[in-house]
Structure 1
């Protein structure tokens, strides 16, 4: 991430409609996000995560993809992705996940990437299946959203 990504990151992190697909539950200040960008070493072995900006051919930022909960012993990490509304359903998620998969396999030597997806999120579920993810466990009442608990599905990609 670059300092120029601050406004986009501020928008994504403070979009309450996305909080149900992330661990965010409080708004972030520009100052806190500025420090996050400045302090990140961009080394998954140091930070335990890596966050990458997704751009299209016109160098427009279309979203963010990250690996979190990196576990070098078990060679796995959790993937998260957000595509901004104006760019959804145009193939950017699939392309970004495929690039992240190549990076994870060839540079990080991971055995698997997994994602936790709300069982009602059919778009993400279908996208991940089309890339080769398989369905794992159903996590009962895993996501608290809109005053109620919802089930989530673990999706795994063995690479």
Structure 2
């Protein structure tokens, strides 16, 4: 992987709550078969199911144990989404996942979104750590998480099955500042 100098910084993006207008984008991302092997999805979602998800999500991580935020550029265009999931308030940690739309990749949007998530996780949710599970065959996510200061803590052998082969997953962790 070549070193890449991002052109987008923290102040160039914002994070916002999921809106009904995001249905088409959510439908596109959730039904992108190429993304299924990096997550837990293994079936297509209907527009109806995603509409119900948007309508029923409280936006309260303490209720839903997850929160999805849309990543927007300065023009208000949605460039991706970032999730906190498997939220555990007792142990003050959550898993983080991110998707940047193809046309916005390798421009720094992922790093900028991670900076926002660190601030939100620490200052608002008072989390101590964020972690990510990244497929060994996903160089873009490896570069993103390592560039965002996550440390490789271990490897989960044969963790993901793509229908033909098993793949290892790298367990990344980032400890947030102590309060």
User: Please, what TM-score do these two structures have when normalized by structure 1?
Assistant: 0.98
Q: Return the alpha-carbon distance in structure 1 between the equivalents of residues 69 and 54 of structure 2.
A: 11
1:51 matched residue in structure 2: 68
1:7 matched residue in structure 2: 24
1:96 aligns with 2:121: no
- Aligned residue among 136, 139, 163 for 1:119: 136
SS of structure 1 residue aligned to 2:37: helix
1:156 matched residue in structure 2: 173
Q: Return the alpha-carbon distance in structure 2 between the equivalents of residues 93 and 146 of structure 1.
A: 28
Question: 1:6-155 maps to which residues of 2 (within 5 A)?
Answer: 6-155=23-172
Q: Return the alpha-carbon distance in structure 2 between the equivalents of residues 147 and 104 of structure 1.
A: 37
Deviation (angstroms), 1:21: 0.9
Deviations 1:64-106 (A, max 9, x none): 1000000011100000000011110010000001101100000
Q: Structure 2 unaligned segments of length 5 or more: list them.
A: 1-17
Q: Return the alpha-carbon distance in structure 1 between the equivalents of residues 124 and 168 of structure 2.
A: 33
User: Please, what TM-score do these two structures have when normalized by structure 2?
Assistant: 0.87
Tell me the C-alpha RMSD between the 2 structures.
0.7
Worse overlay, 55-64 or 119-128: 119-128
Q: Return the alpha-carbon distance in structure 2 between the equivalents of residues 114 and 147 of structure 1.
A: 27
Q: How many residues were matched structurally? A: 159
* Greater length-normalized contact order (CA 8 Å, ≥ 6 residues apart): 2
